[in-house]
Amino acid sequence: MSEPIRQPRRGYSVRSLPGFAVVAVFTFFALYAPILILVAFSFNAGTSLAIWEGFSLRWYAQAAANEAVQEAAVRSLILAGVAASVATVAATMAALATTRTRRFPGRTMIYALINQPLMVPEIVTAVALLIVFAWIKVATGHTSMVYLISAHTAFCIPFAYLPIRARLETMDYTLETAAKDLYASPWKVFSRVTLPLMWPGIIAGYMLAFVISLDDVVITEFVKSAGQETLPTFMLGQLRRVVTPEINAISTIILAAGAILVSLFFWLSRGRR
C-alpha cells in the first residue's frame, strides 16, 4: 500500500492574518493622503486651501519670483550641502574607528556618544546650542553662518554615521585582509578596497544628512541670527502671517527634490551592484 503524498507546509505569512489588507490600505492612506492633497492644492488657481477653483501654475510662478524665497532656498542648500559634507566626513572617520580597529575600552561609550543626538529631544539640543552660541557671540561679537553650520553638522553626524557603519559591518573583511597579504600599504587598502566598497553607505549617509539639514526647523530657529532665514523657517514665518497655496508649491518642490535624491541613491546603488 503506497503512502499518502504529503503536501508541503505553507510558510507563515502576515498577509494571511484577517484584516491585514484593510490595515495596510488605511495605513498607506493616512500616510500619503495629506501629501497628495498638499500637492493637488499647490496647483489651485484660487487662494483657498480647501476649495478647488481650477488648475493653475500661479503659485509656482509667484514662489519662483519671490526674492525672499530665492534667498532662503539658496541659503538652505548651501547650509545643507556644507553641513552634510562635514558630517559625512566625520561620520566616515568615526565609523572606520569603531569597526576597523581592535576592541578597546570605551568603544561602546563612543558609539553611544555619537548617537546621542538621536536619543535627546531636538528641543533640548536646540536650547543647549542657543546658550553656548549666545555666550560665544557675546564674547566675540561675531555673528555669521558658522554657528548654523556647526549646529547642523553636529546634529547630522549620527544620521550619516548609521548607514556608513552598517555598510562597513556587512562588508567582507577578507578582501581587505587579502590586500594586506599582497603587501598593500594601509592607504592603498583603504583607497583601493575599503573606500570603493563603502561608497553606497557614504552616499546614503550624505543624502540622509542633507535632507535632515534641509528641513530642520527647531535647531535653526534657535541658533540663527537676523537675516539668516532658511526655507523651512521662512515657511514657518509665512504660516504665522497668512497661509496661501504658495506654501503648498514650495513644499511640493521640496518633496520632489527629496524624491529625486532618494531615486538617485537607489539608481547609483543598483549601478554599483
Angle at 46 between CA 41 and CA 30, to 5 degrees: 20
One-letter amino acid for residue 114 of the chain:
I
Residue 172 sits at the vertex; the CA angle it makes with 169 and 187, to the nearest 5 degrees, is 90
The one-letter code for the residue type at 231 is L
pLDDT per residue rounded down to tens, the chain (273 residues): 455 555 555 566 777 777 788 888 899 899 889 889 888 888 888 887 778 888 888 889 888 888 888 898 899 999 999 999 999 999 999 998 888 777 777 777 887 888 887 888 888 989 999 899 889 888 888 888 889 999 999 889 999 998 898 888 888 778 888 888 787 888 888 888 888 888 888 988 898 899 889 888 899 999 988 888 898 888 888 877 777 788 888 888 888 887 887 777 667 655 455
At the topology level, CATH places domain 63-272 in MetI-like fold (1.10.3720)
Q: Give the ranges where the chain is alpha helix by DSSP (H).
A: 20-41, 58-65, 67-99, 107-114, 116-119, 122-140, 146-170, 173-181, 186-189, 195-214, 218-223, 231-241, 245-272
Q: Rounded distance, CA 229 to CA 213, Å?
A: 14
- Domains of the chain by residue range: 15-56, 63-272
